Amino acid sequence: MIPDESLSASSNYKGRRKSTPAGGRLNKLPPDDNTIGARQQPRVFNTNQWIQVDLGNPTYVTWVLTQERTGGNAQWVTKYKVQFEPHSPACLFDVKDQLGQTQIFNGNTDRNNIVERHFFTPVLAVKIRIVPVEWNDVIALRFELLTCGC
């Protein structure tokens, strides 16, 4: 299992309630009333925001599962792209579609479902970054990666 310390983000919401990268885990529930049930950006509305996981070792990643924020708030990511850092060189590359273009994944459309999205080709990565492109209300996300022994 990936430790919470292996998740990082461009920034986190710190208002009356707080958000942490670890809150972005799939099915994660807030541990107390002071924590948001998702990884939520502060009210920054641009596509320079991200959440990232350090896998520790090169790992083939094939799927992303996403989920909305818990509670009564209608907050979720509707479109996102995925970037990965291979073992070498240490820089980020976009996950590509079958045409070799940056793949834009359709995310959530409501607060009730986990959405599964498959990469056209598995990527060998040490880090995976999810970059929201569109969202409902604010950027709020819970996610999981699926891997294979390709």
Give me the CATH number covering residue 29.
2.60.120.260
pLDDT score of 37 more than 80: no
- Compute the residue count for the chain: 150
What's the total number of domains in the chain? 1
In this predicted model, which residue has the larger pLDDT, 101 or 46? 101
Q: In terms of residue numbers, what domain contains 38?
A: 4-148
In this predicted model, which residue has the larger pLDDT, 131 or 42? 131
pTM equals 0.90
Q: Quick one: pLDDT band at residue 106, thresholds 50, 70, 90?
A: very high
pLDDT at 32: 79
pLDDT score of 34 more than 90: no
Query: Measuring CA to CA, how many Å separate 38 from each of 33, 88, 89, 98, 126?
Result: 13, 31, 31, 31, 23
Query: Rounded to whole angstroms, how far apart are CA atoms 95 and 104?
Result: 9
User: CB of 21 within 8 A of CB of 39?
Assistant: yes
Query: Rounded to whole angstroms, how far apart are CA atoms 61 and 40?
Result: 24
pLDDT score of 33 more than 90: no
pLDDT at 21: 79
pLDDT at 42: 64
Q: Quick one: pLDDT band at residue 41, thresholds 50, 70, 90?
A: low
Say whether 138 sits in a helix, a strand or coil: coil
pLDDT score of 130 more than 90: yes
pLDDT at 43: 64
